[in-house]
């Protein structure tokens, strides 16, 4: 069963900032990193620095060579979107 891909606003992203429920955005894509935390080579604490935010700059500062989109393919929530239609 494939996950539903849907847009995420920065406000919603910000609410997912705990180790039990952690999302992060890189280059306009939001990922649920909760299940990846234990496997992050830099440790969960380092990865949590990017939780709930657009972590693009942080990510690029540490390891721009890492293929995050491939590693987190199954963790994709959807695109980061500032404007959402009010009717849903
Ligand atoms: C390694 C921090 C996000 C995947 C590391 C290391 C640090 C770090 C400090 C170095 C560990 C060491 O060499 O001892 C962070 C921070 C992040 C972040 C602050 C917040 C944005 C991510 C993401 C992924 C990722 C989103 C991919 C899903 C990796 C991988 C390594 C690594 C694969 C090993 C890289 C290598 O040795 O070439 N991280 N990380 N990290 N991280 Fe992250």
Containing H/E element for 53?
none
**Ligand 1 pocket mutation, candidates 47, 49, 52, 71, criterion most atoms within 8 A of CB:** 47
State the closest ligand 1 atom to the C-alpha of 71, by its place in the atom list counted from 1: 28
Ligand 1 contact, 62 CB (< 6 A): yes
Residue corresponding to tokens 């939001």 = 30
What is this model's ipTM?
Answer: 0.91
Distances in Å between the alpha carbon of 44 and those of 20, 30, 40, 78? 11, 18, 6, 22
**This prediction's pTM:** 0.91
pLDDT tens for each residue of 46-68: 999 999 999 999 999 999 999 99
Closest residue CA from atom 31 of ligand 1: 41
């Amino acid at each position: 069963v494939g996950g539903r891909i849907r847009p995420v606003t920065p406000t919603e992203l910000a609410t997912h900032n705990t180790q039990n429920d952690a999302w992060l955005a890189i280059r306009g894509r939001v990922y649920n990193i909760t299940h990846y935390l234990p496997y992050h080579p830099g440790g969960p604490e380092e990865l949590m620095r990017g939780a709930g935010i657009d972590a693009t700059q942080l990510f690029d500062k540490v390891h721009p060579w890492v293929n995050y989109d491939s590693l987190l393919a199954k963790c994709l929530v959807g695109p980061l979107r500032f404007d959402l239609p009010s009717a849903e």
